[in-house]
Amino acid sequence: MTKPRIVVSGLGVVSPYGAGTKTFWAGLAAGTCAIRPITLIDTEGFRSRVAAEVPADVMAALGVSARRARADRLGLAAAREALADAGLGPDDRAEAALVIGAVGGGMLEGEAWYWEETRTGRPSPRITALRSILPYTHAETLGWRLGLGGPKETVVMACASGAASISLAADLVRDGVVPVALAGGVDALTRICFMGFNALKLLDPEPCRPFDRDRKGMSIGEAAAFLVLEEADRCRARGGRALAELLGAGVSTDAHHVTSPAPDGEGMVRAMRQALIDARVGAGDVHYVNAHGTGTLQNDRTEALALAKVFGSWSVPVSSTKSLVGHTMAAAGSLEAVATVLALQHGLIPPTANLASVDPEIPFDCVPITARPAPLEIAVTNSFGFGGQNVSLLFGR
């Protein structure tokens, strides 16, 4: 039996550049770093005071009620764009699965409630702030508002959540559970995330410099990104456009440590190799890797080790779009999947911003500063979360 082919038929993004896939790609292609002084939370005395926020004027123009949690507002706007881009009508939506990668939920609003109680010593009446505090509430909100009638799943896999949502949605389509799925990740900036990584000394005081020998950590970002996945024949039959094909996916767990990756990159290697096997593609056929590339000492070095094992040193261009839009946590895997699809479409590799001199232990062309035209047919995007949770997705033009 031949394996059903899964295509990407719609994209939707709200990123630190603004609303929309076109805005996102324009920022990536120009190599514009969207990491700036933080405004949403108080960071007085912190190691790092920069982040890639979605600007206030962009939030106000999303067309989503300010009554909703910030993360839900990002998610609804991005999901609407993806469904419209795919041209999915009410009947398609009624049978579509929804798979969301989420971590922070409506924590930004929940934190404000908690701080008010703690600081005033009185119970806060602002109980509506807790409405969306749990990660699964995004799926509730989006499923209901967008009329998505299929199975509804929330994937919580740290920084790999967004990528894992795509892998799971592809399985649902491939196995015939649903004909079409909306998959992606959502995360708004939160105090607990920013302060946690700040306390771990994993935040660069300057905008992050993945792969640079002087890198000092990551920069936090916020975003939502969604992809519509469907079986190729069905997409063609209904007159949809295939923007790219999801050729394969690999998911693995290090089972090593709560935060550190296994030092030999073994779990990362397994995820990438699984994706290649799933796609029936050789390592030499991959033209670009969109790295997890957080900018922490440990991640970048371990990822480079794993990449060298799978692809060979100096074999394939590798860039980190986190240098441009920050690490958008649960959204990162899906945002970078969109970046990878767009790179294939445009034949242009988004650069690694802020990269002055590459760490000698990273034996790859990391596409510094400026985007590079290249005939791209097949590309991989990696997402490696805390807890050694690894997802590699392999897309083809």
Partner 1 sequence: MTQKEVLDELKAIVVERLRFDPRRAADMTLDTTLPKGVEGSLGLDSLDFIELSVAMEDRFGITVEEGQDLSQEFHSFDSLSRYILGKMGPS
Question: Which residues are part of the catalytic machinery?
Answer: 159, 292, 327
Closer residue to partner 1 (CB): 130 or 242: 130
Binds partner 1 (CB under 8 A): choice among 2, 65, 118, 120: 65
Nearest to 144 by CA among 84, 72, 87: 72
Of residues 127-146, those binding partner 1 (CB under 8 A): 127-128, 130-131
- State the minimum distance, in angstroms, from the CB of residue 13 to partner 1: 25
Pattern 111-130, binding to partner 1, x per CB under 8 A? --------------xxxx-x
Please say whether the beta carbons of 17 and 26 come within 8 A.
yes
With contacts defined by CB under 8 A, name the span among 18-26, 65-73, 95-103, 288-296 that binds partner 1. Answer: 65-73
The residue within the footprint of partner 1, chosen from 1, 66, 237, 258 (CB under 8 A), is: 66
Listed residue (69, 13, 55, 5) closest to 229, CA to CA: 5
Nearer to partner 1, 1 or 66 (CB): 66
Q: What is the smallest separation between the CB atom of 312 and partner 1, expressed in angstroms?
A: 54
| Beta carbon nearer to partner 1, 30 or 130 | 130
**Count of residues engaged in binding partner 1, rule: CB under 8 A:** 9
Contacting range for partner 1; rule: CB under 8 A; set: 39-47, 62-70, 300-308, 356-364: 62-70
Min dist CB 73 to partner 1, Å, is: 12
Cβ-based nearer residue to partner 1, 128 or 313:
128
Residue 66 CB, nearest approach to partner 1 (Å): 5
Backbone angles phi, psi at 169, to 5 degrees: -65, -40
Minimum CB–partner distance for residue 113 and partner 1 (Å): 11
Nearest to 340 by CA among 320, 366, 360: 320
Which residues between 291 and 350 bind partner 1 (CB under 8 A)? none
Interface with partner 1 (CB under 8 A): 65-67, 125-128, 130-131
